[in-house]
Structure 1
Amino acid sequence: MQYINGEWCQATTGKTYPVYNPATGEVIEQIARGGKEEGNLAIDAAKNALPSWSKKTAKERAFYLKTVSEKLRERIDHLATIITTEMGKPIAEAKGEVNLAADYLEWYAEEGKRIYGDTIPSSSETKRIIVLRQPVGVVAAITPWNFPIAMLARKIAPALAAGCTVVLKPAESTPLTAIEVMKIFHEVGLPKGVLNLVHGEAAPIGEAMMERQEVRKITFTGSTKVGKELAAKAAATMKKISMELGGHAPFIIFEDADLEKAAEGVIASKFRNAGQTCICTNRIYVQRTIAERFSEILVTKMDKLVVGNGLQPEVTIGPLINEAAVAKTEDHISDSVKKGAKVVYGGKKPTGEVYKKGHFYEPTILLHATHEMKIATEETFGPVAPIFEFDTEEEALHLANDTSYGLAAYFYTKDVSRVFRMSEKLEYGIIGINDPVPTTAQAPFGGVKESGVGREGGRYGLEDYLDYKFLSLELEL
């Protein structure tokens, strides 16, 4: 159902669409297919709610965020089951995502109380200069399917904390988690129109968001291609934008690294959510002197990965989101093998009754990868880890930066001087140094180059939801 102006409603057309379980191929539920009309109704509701919500104190707004955060933690098993059922990730990962969403809500409940202005010394004795920071207005938030609750929270929490109102459009394949979160906001008594949910047809809902002057900010997580299209349309009404787009993360392992920990780091980064994360490892660069030894260590650790339905507690690799994702994974592996790569682990769909109807693929290791292969430049979004070799630090930097993306990068070393050299020269917004999972609520998340604009998380995440207002006051002294 849609959630507009504090009420649950069906689509005006009466149309629905199915939401599938990617592990079984079964229809979970039929969902109302909203469109442009629902988008406009939600924008109207958010516009009408803005004056009263923006006037509330930071403490008043914090109450709702903090209370919802607590309820997410209380209902972690229920929410995690919904996440796993509609998008496939293992239940343990889904629980971790619920906790991360709760962290974002809790963080911004407090950070919203620290939206400070300034008093600036004037160049005239009769003038006083004051800078206010005020909410930008109505926000349109578009979230992806791979983190259906964490990305939702990372957008709506700072927006609401800043005093903005929100129209949320979740991914078409994963609306059920968003619906559950809206139920909790409704339960705690969030004022009508402050947070609205529309789901269904992406293009017409997006049209309403882009065309309406009242929408002053677009926040989007998704592909670079779609992000560019939205940014171009947002320019027509000069909306603020923040976009977390595609990535192609390098994972660099130097000869002085702890190879056991580096191998564990590769597995944690590459195979989380079956490789379907924007910051997951895409290219593994190993110094040539240790390449053979590292590959052997990595392969021996792969057997601990278990492919299957994410609702089973022993499963660590769930299904891909759909058959197109499986086909892309197969294409990248096939292209790599044709161009000289060697499959040393995995490389095929798993067999057996449990896998027949789902979109499963084995975690795969490729040796002898080169930059002539598709996998070196295209984001796979699947469980494939290609290993490249390099000789020098300078070469590793050149290879790592040789991409239009700039979201996340990782490297493993014990050399403190190298830590700073690499960190300062890698062209990425997030750097994991001996750390394969850097995401946290209190730090800025986002990329450079074609991986996006703006940041989410920490105090930085409030900036794009605020406008600066300069007051110049002439006094009679």
Structure 2
Amino acid sequence: MVETDGGVEHYRMYINGEWKDAISGEKENVESPTNEEVIYTVPKGGVDDAKLALETAEAAQPAWAAMPAVERGNILIKFADLILKNKERLARILAREMGKTYELALGEATVSADFINFPAQAARRLEGDIMPSDLPNEHIMIHKVPYGVTVGIAAWNFPLALACRKIGPSLTAGNTMVVKPPSVTPVAVLALGELAKEAGIPDGVLNLVTGGGSTMGEELVTNPITKLVTMTGSTKTGQHIHRAASDNLTEVRLELGGKAPFILLEDGNVDKAVEAATVSRHLNNGQVCTCPERFYIHEDVYDEFLEKYVAEVKKLKLGDPLDADTDVGPKVNAFETEQMAKTVENAVAQGAKIACGGKRPEGAEFEKGHWYEPTVLTECTNDMDVMREEVFGVVSPITKISSYEEALKLANDCKYGLAAFVFTNDMRRIQRAVLELEFGEVYINRPMGEQRQGFHNGHKLSGTGGEDGKYGMENYLEKKTFYVNFND
């Protein structure tokens, strides 16, 4: 539940169906990226709080797993309905704590409900296998069962949606879950506790905790109660979690960083490419792992694309995320803003040219908060840091290419393999891209945006496991094999 102290709302953790402060009594501030004011406080949970949540989830799991899947699904469908009914409140929290536009925050709340709904409605379709045995009067049955206690760790850019993306399939499969949102944007996730209670999710089945990664996060990952960890975040953090979970051989699912190439070939629709690039690069202030992060534009359409794209980028309005006219809000915090500024400075030092942006915006409304202008860089080469390291912000480095083969080679020359974009009307090239692009998610002639029935997964250093659809559900079930002999 929520209480107000000096005009600042305090949200508690949700453990075993109760709202709790940290055992230590410590709190953390959540600041507005728009003006740097403290807008919320949350508990600064630690190791003991993590243990309590895990023990609670462990105690609740057998009864939840024993419940018929369709009944679990019906409870979760009600949970999703309540998220939709409260989407305006959740969206306002998201816009305030993260800096995304209110319109996008409304979309995130809606998608969050869908992430619960899709697996919940498929509860009756959890399937195993029966196969013939080599022996007479025997059947072989593969039965799929929940892991037990799962831990969900969400990134700060879409905290509510990423939490629900894990909660939906995990709970539908019969697992219980402890969810830790990021310290910088934890409040919308904590607000789910009240809705979970109202929906009738049994106490202990879903627990929402807050605290530091090196204390609470480490305990959640390394505690032997945890049977599966699913995490969305940076590659560096994912690698650490993978190592930390290895002592217990805990299952790990990781959705990590990206460096999506955006390829426009000479026969592609330039106007559609410009529209898709503008939306996809600047959505959520560029803080999306599937955003186009590097642009490979064919020399025959390069000038046209650049002129039109720069014109559209210059039209984007920075401002208060709660203002309906705002296209791009603030960066989430000072560190992210500084990193983006350093990236641009370094790119220029390495030979890139600034076509637009490249600085903090001017004006009294931007004196506080974490702001940076949408930036387009030209004359970039694939050996520049801006073309190789994830930027996670509104910077568009552009390279001129002369053939599909060159674009393919440059696109694949990358340690990440999450998403890619290709604009061409040549079906032969499209089919080649299916086989030859080393990315888990490829958008052909359209902006980004995966769908629930698809499969969102990364190759290379972009992750392991994947999420969504029937393949995502499989990640929350493990298998038992029964050899059933019925001889006399």
Sort the TM-score into its range (normalised by shorter chain): over 0.9
State the TM-score, normalized to the length of structure 1.
Answer: 0.98
Q: Secondary structure at the match of 1:328?
A: helix
Check if 1:29 corresponds to 2:40: yes
Aligned partner (choices 299, 306, 327) of residue 295 of structure 1:
306
Deviates more, 1:412-421 or 1:207-216: 207-216
* Residue type at the aligned position of 1:362: E
Q: Secondary structure at the match of 1:285?
A: strand
Match of 1:120 in 2: 131
Check if 1:368 corresponds to 2:379: yes
Task: Kindly provide the CA deviation profile for residues 318-345 of structure 1, in whole angstroms up to 9, marking residues without a partner as x.
Answer: 1101111111111111111122211111
- Contact kept, 8 Å, 1:35 with 1:202, in 2: the verdict is no
- Contact kept, 8 Å, 2:290 with 2:448, in 1: the verdict is no
State the TM-score, normalized to the length of structure 2.
Answer: 0.96
Q: Matches of residues 419-458 of structure 1 in structure 2 within 5 Å?
A: 419-458=430-469
Which blocks of at least 5 consecutive residues in structure 1 are unaligned? Answer: none
Which structure 1 residue ranges, 4+ long, deviate > 3 Å from structure 2?
Answer: none
- Contact kept, 8 Å, 2:265 with 2:403, in 1: the verdict is no
Deviation, 1:263, is 0.5
Check if 1:257 corresponds to 2:268: yes
Match of 1:177 in 2: 188
- Contact kept, 8 Å, 1:112 with 1:158, in 2: the verdict is no
Q: Matches of residues 78-117 of structure 1 in structure 2 within 5 Å?
A: 78-117=89-128
Aligned partner (choices 256, 277, 294) of residue 245 of structure 1:
256
* Residue type at the aligned position of 2:293: N
Match of 1:60 in 2: 71
Match of 1:47 in 2: 58
CA distance in 2: counterparts of 1:173 and 1:386, whole angstroms: 28
- Contact kept, 8 Å, 1:65 with 1:108, in 2: the verdict is no
Deviation, 1:455, is 1.2
Deviation, 1:304, is 3.1
Which blocks of at least 5 consecutive residues in structure 2 are unaligned? Answer: 1-11
Percent of aligned pairs sharing the same letter: 38
Aligned residues: 477
Match of 1:216 in 2: 227
Check if 1:280 corresponds to 2:291: yes
Q: Secondary structure at the match of 1:411?
A: strand
Check if 1:139 corresponds to 2:144: no
Task: Kindly provide the CA deviation profile for residues 60-107 of structure 1, in whole angstroms up to 9, marking residues without a partner as x.
Answer: 111121112111222221111100000000111111111111111110
- Contact kept, 8 Å, 2:82 with 2:199, in 1: the verdict is no
Task: Kindly provide the CA deviation profile for residues 422-473 of structure 1, in whole angstroms up to 9, marking residues without a partner as x.
Answer: 1210000000001212311111111011100011111111111101100011
- Contact kept, 8 Å, 2:76 with 2:201, in 1: the verdict is no
Q: Secondary structure at the match of 2:475?
A: helix
CA distance in 2: counterparts of 1:138 and 1:457, whole angstroms: 20
CA distance in 2: counterparts of 1:269 and 1:209, whole angstroms: 34
- Contact kept, 8 Å, 2:36 with 2:368, in 1: the verdict is yes
CA distance in 2: counterparts of 1:296 and 1:289, whole angstroms: 13
CA distance in 2: counterparts of 1:248 and 1:112, whole angstroms: 35
Aligned partner (choices 316, 335, 345) of residue 327 of structure 2:
316
Q: Secondary structure at the match of 1:149?
A: helix
Change in CA separation of 1:301 and 1:211 when aligned onto 2, cut-off 3 Å: closer
* Residue type at the aligned position of 1:97: E
Q: Secondary structure at the match of 1:199?
A: coil
Q: Secondary structure at the match of 2:114?
A: helix
CA distance in 2: counterparts of 1:438 and 1:188, whole angstroms: 29
Check if 1:190 corresponds to 2:201: yes
* Residue type at the aligned position of 1:132: H
- Contact kept, 8 Å, 1:100 with 1:441, in 2: the verdict is no
CA distance in 2: counterparts of 1:123 and 1:288, whole angstroms: 62
